[in-house]
Amino acid sequence: MAGWWIGLGAIAAVVAAAPHGARAVKRRLRQARDDHSRRPALWNRFYAAGWGETTTNNYGFAPAPGDHPQRFQHQMYRELRRRLEARRPLTPGLRMLEVSCGRGGGLDAFVSAAPVPIEAIGLDVADRAIAFCRTRYPGRAFVAASALDLPFPDASFDVLLNVEASNDYGDRARFFREVARVLKPDGVFLYADNFRPSYLPAMHEQLAAAGLSGAFDDVTANVIDACRLDTARRRAAIRAAFPLATLLLFGKDLENYAAMDGSRKLGDFVHGRRSYLMTAAVKS
């Protein structure tokens, strides 16, 4: 989920005092959002917000057992692990990389619930996210780097994990090639993201061109349920994370970012304008 408007509350407050200030801020931020060279700085602002105990950032999957506040987000990772286990047995020493790990909560949920020890590395473009992960999970390795230039040798990993991040990269085909490069032969790409229907043929072609093959499951209905059930928590987390000026100027944008009940983004899922898919694709 793209966090392009975050950490700019003070700037927003100043600009809003001028005529058409809010409109100017939004226009500049949308320009920054579309400039992929500026994404690392924008994501650093995003992770500078006061997220507290929120460590996992995806739309979520329902149903989800238990009462953990982020159980829907964790369930997204459990669903991917279940698909991995259907592809290959989990054996001790399995090497896994999560690209765009954020604050590390999803990776931790995946690894902690696995039946065998997994050697897991988290990677993110945002230095602030990696710094948080290194403090929060001191026994695990984290690397600050780009998804389009993974700093690992060929055939380094048995599994590569990527959840709801590839829409932000600007060159999905290049990302898929990097995935295939660092996976071992018969390695598995655990992939989940949302797409406009018109883009699906190109995405499938890019995946196949990189040498990755696998059937996709449409889990849009599960994501819709999770977004609705989790709206109150998301609203509270956003209100706690950002200054009042940001909330006043960008409240609707933030609700849309989080796909809260009643938002345009959730409406896209409900009315078929976007689909949420996941796969365990194998390197051929």
Task: CATH number of the domain at 192, please.
Answer: 3.40.50.150
Q: Specify the pLDDT at position 18.
A: 42
In a domain, residue 236? The reply is no
In a domain, residue 50? The reply is no
In a domain, residue 161? The reply is yes
- The total of other beta-carbon atoms located within 10 Å of residue 223's CB is 28
In a domain, residue 15? The reply is no
Q: Specify the pLDDT at position 24.
A: 62
Structure pTM? 0.88
Q: Specify the pLDDT at position 29.
A: 56
In a domain, residue 103? The reply is yes
Q: Domain span at residue 174?
A: 71-222+273-283
Instruction: Work out how many domains the chain is built from and give that number.
Output: 1
Q: Specify the pLDDT at position 40.
A: 80
Q: Specify the pLDDT at position 16.
A: 41
Instruction: Return all residues near 270 (Cβ < 8 A) that are at least 6 apart.
Output: 224
Tokens coding 13: 């407050």
Residues 118 and 85 sit within 8 Å (Cβ to Cβ): no
In a domain, residue 57? The reply is no
Give me the phi and psi of 214, to 5 degrees please. Answer: 180, 150
Q: Specify the pLDDT at position 2.
A: 37
In a domain, residue 165? The reply is yes
Instruction: Return all residues near 226 (Cβ < 8 A) that are at least 6 apart.
Output: 59, 60, 61, 62, 64, 72, 75
User: What is the pLDDT tens value at each position of the chain, 284 positions in all?
Assistant: 433 333 344 334 333 444 455 566 555 655 555 566 777 888 888 898 889 999 999 999 999 999 999 999 999 999 999 999 999 999 999 999 999 999 999 999 999 999 999 999 999 999 999 999 999 999 999 999 999 999 999 999 999 999 999 999 999 999 999 999 999 999 999 999 999 999 999 999 999 999 999 999 999 999 999 999 999 999 999 999 989 998 999 999 999 999 999 999 999 999 999 999 999 999 98
In a domain, residue 7? The reply is no
Q: Is 20 exposed, middle or buried (0-12, 13-18, 19+ CB in 10 A)?
A: exposed
Q: How far apart are CA 102 and CA 112, in angstroms?
A: 17
